[in-house]
Amino acid sequence: MARKSTKTPGFEQSLKELESLVEKMEQGDLSLEDSLSHFERGVQLSRTCQKALKEAEQKVEILMKKNGQDEITAFDSEDS
């Protein structure tokens, strides 16, 4: 049985909420107070996402080192 945690939402959930907040703010229909509240929540979500990505990067580095590779080659999205 999967355990549900009441702590920080996962990366995907945080990113989805962040995208939703950005869409609402881009519509321009929010009051200044609501805009500030949405912005503050967006900053929190952004930090959550950044932390999750950093942790994932560290895990990848550990796995790569265990596999005998000392460094990760940068991904160049322009070549795709």
Q: Where along the chain do its domains lie?
A: 11-68
Task: Summarize pLDDT for 51-79 with one digit per residue, the tens.
Answer: 999 999 999 888 888 888 766 666 666 65
Torsion angle of the four alpha carbons 38, 41, 47, 49, in this order, in degrees rounded to the nearest 10: -80
pTM for this prediction: 0.69
Place of tokens 């321009």: 28
Which whole number is the average pLDDT over 17-41? 95
Q: What angle do CA 32, 49, 34 make, to 5 degrees?
A: 10
**The pLDDT of residue 4 is above 90:** no
Q: State the pLDDT confidence band at 14, using cuts at 50, 70 and 90.
A: very high
54, amino acid identity: K
pLDDT of residue 64: 85
Superfamily name with CATH number, domain 11-68: Exonuclease VII, small subunit (1.10.287.1040)
